[in-house]
Amino acid sequence: MNIFQFDTEDAWVEGVVSLWRDRLHSNPRLRMCLPSGHTPNKIFAAIGRAVKAKQASFRDAEIFCLDEFGGLALDDRGRCANMLRHYLLQHIDLPEKNFHRIDIDAPDLQKTCQDYERSIEPGFDLTLLGLGLNGHLGMNEPGTSADSPTRRVQLASSTVASSAKYLAHGNLPTWGVAVGLKRLLGSKEVWLLVNGPAKTDIVKRTVHGPIGEDVPATLLRRHPNSFLMSDADAGKLL
């Protein structure tokens, strides 16, 4: 795992966006798996400004949702696809047909998972991930197999509690659908984005702790092209 540590959060945002622009320039047809949540939002805002300034383009790219919460209304602002639309998609030039979301409301969820898994072929060029406080990657909770596919998952209690910050109500989701670790670890390049003091301990454990499925993020240390990108607060124990 390569480690990029930035002195400030602003420098972290600028550094990640600069690299993202480079990847889009090198491969305009970049196939990306992207997270929602609070961690990437400032990065999303900055790449949106870069698109507006014609410094980057998503016209020929593809974006796949990393995961989706179950049990939420179609228009709930806490849905992962809705967060991606709000914070990123409405600010960039990605064609609607090139945005792939998980149809969590389909009557046959198993078929939805299988179809989504097939749509990912031949794989991701670039995957951006946040880091859960328990070391999860997306909704791949501790104990997830490294060869897990896209599937329905039960959320850890800490993930359920964390979801409250995305919602305007108390109906917290207890399950979801996640792109599995097999696809994430099979991405050509993976960026693990972390910022803020709350992530300090899990960042240290991710980089220096034993590698294993009990902390899924540690598996990225076996990836030949993975990058931990942190600000000073998140990386202060490295």
Beta bridge partners of 228: 3, 192
The low-confidence residues of the chain, meaning pLDDT below 50, are none
Say what the pLDDT of residue 127 is. Answer: 98
In the chain, domain spans? 2-231
* Nearest alpha carbon to residue 45 among 25, 28, 63, 20: 20
Say what the pLDDT of residue 49 is. Answer: 98
Say what the pLDDT of residue 61 is. Answer: 98
Say what the pLDDT of residue 164 is. Answer: 94
* CATH 3.40.50.720 is the classification of domain 2-231: no
Residues near 171 by beta carbon (within 8 Å), at least 6 away in sequence: 71, 72
Residues near 18 by beta carbon (within 8 Å), at least 6 away in sequence: none
Evaluate the CA torsion angle 42, 44, 47, 49 in order and state its sign: negative
Say what the pLDDT of residue 195 is. Answer: 97
Residues with a known catalytic role: 67, 134, 136, 141
Say what the pLDDT of residue 101 is. Answer: 97
